[in-house]
Chains A and B, each alone.
Chain A
Amino acid sequence: MTKQKKYLTKKNPLVKSKINHVSSHLRSRATKALACHAAKGDFVLQECSECQYISYPPRDRCPKCWGVLTWKHQKRHATLLAETTIHSTTDLYFREHVPWRIGTILLDVGPTAFAHLHSNVQVGDKLKIHVMLDRSGNPALFAMPRKVTVNMEEDYQYSQFTASPKGKRILISDGRTEIGQKLTYELIKAGAEIVYLGNADSNLRFKGQDSISKHKNVKIIPLNLLSTKSVKKCSQQYGGKVDILINTASYVRSGSIAFSGKITEMQNAIDLNVNGLTRLAKAFCPAMSARSGDEERPAIAFLDILSIFSLTSHPDYASLAASSAARLSIINSLRSEMSLSGLKVFSTLIGPIEDEWHQDIPPPKVTAEQIAKSVITSLKNGQELTLVGNVAKDIFEKWSANPLLTMRETIK
């Protein structure tokens, strides 16, 4: 059983926070490609398309026959051959985290590799290997015990690669929606200390308000993403105590470009989906990244839930698709910016939701509950990119294979 972490309730304001170092950023292009798979939680290694030799570390040509290499899903099984505990290092990030255990693993599919070690694994043990994203957003192998054990994800080293909500203070930008509320309940179930739930208009009651406002771990707070002033005010009050920020806000209206849509709907979509996200990031990320190296209560993640049509456009939901595309771009820029501070940036790409705004779209659709559960999983696993629902998975798969064709397929 993994030793559980103790959570403090109050931080001494006189103690200087630890500076947020991140591990080294230098990586080859091949290793950056590994990061794209790691972001989805996939375990891949390079395999030669000619002789099928599997190699590691990432290369540009096969070391056996000089053939071309492709990333392929591989079995995660490995054995721990040798280990060390680092007590002294020149690396500024790891200096804050020593003693730190690493070891040499032998993957069942062939190669050996250095990997970070879970505290429950010993030399000779059978392992399950994950490619995780480290605090610089780069891929690293992590060796977990093959057998699942109690509180396994609370391992100190593993927790440096994840954003588990347990014991965390979480802000949800829009609590008026079913997604915001379902997510709140799931986060509390996962051990969140408190959920600050944004409410854009205190004068208008919303569905579910009575029961959620009575919950002892929930605090409904004024937050209107359409108002820079409101977002700023909220960040002044809560920026210093938010560990995870989740943007659930979304403006969805059906409508095409030329015929059925209105310019005001496009403006509204852009103002909430694009500017709202930007206001949120601008107001909260500086304060959060300043605390990302904090020993006791680090700020760890920013998560955005957005439409899968960000990848492809959608003729009947043109304003949603256009604003989501911008939203995805903003998240990518933010991720790069935050990789210098160690704040993890997550995106949850969702298909059409089962709600009043997606009535024109036939099933399959995703429920608020599905989305909420996926968000928890992605935080717990440190998985930057999550796809929720069959539509999102289908579009992503097609888009990964051929983006232009996938965009054309949305044309009737």
Chain B
Amino acid sequence: MKRYQKSYEGVSLCAPITIPYRRYSPETAHWWAGAALKELSLQTNLTANDIDGVIFSSFSSNPDTVVGIVQHLGLSPTWMDNIPTGGASGVMAIRRAARAVQSGDANIVVCIAADTNHIDSFQKTLDTFSRFSQDATYPYGQGGPNATFAIMTEYFMRKFNLTREEFGKIAIAQRQNASTNPIALMKKPLNMNQYLDAKPIANPLHLFDCVMPCAGAEAFVVTTPEVAEKFNLSTVKVLSTIERHNAFSEDHIQYRGGWVKDIDDLWSSSNYNPSDINFAQVYDDYPVIVAMQLQDLGFCENGKIKQFINDTDFTIMGDLPLNTNGGQLSAGQAGAAGGYQNVTEALRQCIKQPLGQQIPNSTKGLISGFGMVNYDRGVCTGAAIIKTDTIR
């Protein structure tokens, strides 16, 4: 049955906030969430009394979820939601907050993703990540998702005839984009030889195919154009969104994601084509996922991803600026904040307040999320097409 998605009329995305990441932090997820609220209040003059909706995403706030954060940070919302879906949580937050604002359940929704990274928190997150991982992934020596993605990468390379060079091109372009972002954790230039000769992690993955876990926080506000005007905030419109979970469970090994199921809805609701898009902020825990998204989201014909990567310049001044803050591969992966940094960077490019270099023409952007390798594949996918509304 075809779904007719109602428009996102009357919804404004604004106030992207990024708290500079740190490799390790002795602080807690609560501290990082508080830091995001503090920065938000400094930039927007929003107070606790103004905020009547809260969305929270984190892997390291245990045992607290959104309710613990609300009480910890002295908020009193009329609406709240906890979105524990990692790399897909940012897109999902947009969708949920937008509908809450449209329906009037909340007027100003603050979406926060915050994660700390203690010396041992990566291991702790792994230990409790999912039941299937405990039962059927970690006993195989993976110590994290590297080996799962290695198998996916190996399969994807064979299926679509890719070589490591194509993935290297993505990693190198993102590193070049990161070089303009003062708060990216990895700004040292990367060349193809360095990429290819890096330390092997799990064949065919090498060091520069893997993100670096770190601590950080991201936040943004979803509200009405009227409120945005009152607080003098630049705004971005939502044109269309999709979300899908546990798609293609029949595929033996993941080589496509849930986007494929809903891609026509995404583009037709937005009234744009991939070629109209000025930039893409896609989830990038590993280059193979970037390649998978570009193909599944329709930037190239199915099966032509190799040629598309070779023909496209992904740097900020290129044909399709991709992950312009450096993405997680170069800026760092701050847990669930990794699923929000694609949103905040996209908003910043649209309202011309980038952390690094501005894309010359940046009114129409695509955000894509991918999350929760619960067992052998990413379960959650989502995407949104956004457009600059008012720059103040």
- Within 8 Å CB of A28, what residues of B? 131, 134-135
Interface residues of B in 104-156 (CB under 8 A from A): 122-123, 126-127, 131-132, 134-144, 146-148, 150-152, 154-155
Query: A85, A104, A136: which contacts B376 (Cβ < 8 A)?
Result: A104
Query: A23, A57, A81, A138: which contacts B252 (Cβ < 8 A)?
Result: A81
Interface residues of A in 93-113 (CB under 8 A from B): 93-95, 97-98, 100, 102-104, 106, 112-113
Q: DSSP majority for the B interface? A: helix
Q: Is the CB of B146 within 8 A of A83?
A: no
- Within 8 Å CB of A113, what residues of B? 136
Supply 27 A–B pairs (Cβ within 8 Å), ascending by A: A23-B141, A24-B127, A27-B134, A31-B136, A57-B132, A57-B375, A63-B249, A81-B155, A82-B253, A84-B150, A84-B151, A84-B202, A84-B203, A85-B203, A86-B146, A86-B147, A86-B202, A88-B202, A91-B143, A94-B141, A97-B141, A102-B147, A113-B136, A114-B136, A114-B140, A114-B148, A115-B140
- Within 8 Å CB of B126, what residues of A? 90
Closest 3 A/B residue pairs (Cβ): A94-B141, A89-B143, A90-B143
- Which residue of A has the minimal Cβ distance to B204? A84
B residues whose Cβ falls under 8 Å from a Cβ of A: 122-123, 126-127, 131-132, 134-144, 146-148, 150-152, 154-155, 158, 199-205, 249, 252-253, 375-376
- Within 8 Å CB of B150, what residues of A? 84, 86
- Within 8 Å CB of A140, what residues of B? 139-140
Q: Is the CB of A87 within 8 A of B135?
A: no
Interface code A59-98, partner B: CB below 8 Å = 1, 0 otherwise?
0000100000000000000000111111111110111011
* A295 nearest CB across to chain B (Å): 17
C-alpha spacing A27/B130, complex, angstroms? 10
C-alpha spacing A82/B251, complex, angstroms? 13
Q: Is the CB of A86 within 8 A of B141?
A: yes
Q: Is the CB of A56 within 8 A of B136?
A: yes
- Which residue of A has the minimal Cβ distance to B199? A88
* A285 nearest CB across to chain B (Å): 24
A126 at the B interface (CB under 8 A)? no
- Within 8 Å CB of A138, what residues of B? 139
- Within 8 Å CB of A97, what residues of B? 141
Interface residues of A in 114-128 (CB under 8 A from B): 114-116
Interface residues of A in 135-174 (CB under 8 A from B): 136, 138, 140
C-alpha spacing A89/B141, complex, angstroms? 7
C-alpha spacing A265/B259, complex, angstroms? 74
Q: Is the CB of A23 within 8 A of B143?
A: no
A58 at the B interface (CB under 8 A)? yes
C-alpha spacing A28/B132, complex, angstroms? 9
- Within 8 Å CB of B375, what residues of A? 57
C-alpha spacing A57/B374, complex, angstroms? 11
Q: Is the CB of A112 within 8 A of B253?
A: yes
Q: Which of B141, B142, B144, B150 has the most chain A CB atoms closer than 10 A to its own CB? A: B141
A134 at the B interface (CB under 8 A)? yes
Q: Is the CB of B139 within 8 A of A23?
A: yes
Interface code A259-271, partner B: CB below 8 Å = 1, 0 otherwise?
0000000000000
Q: Is the CB of B146 within 8 A of A88?
A: yes
Q: Is the CB of A81 within 8 A of B146?
A: no
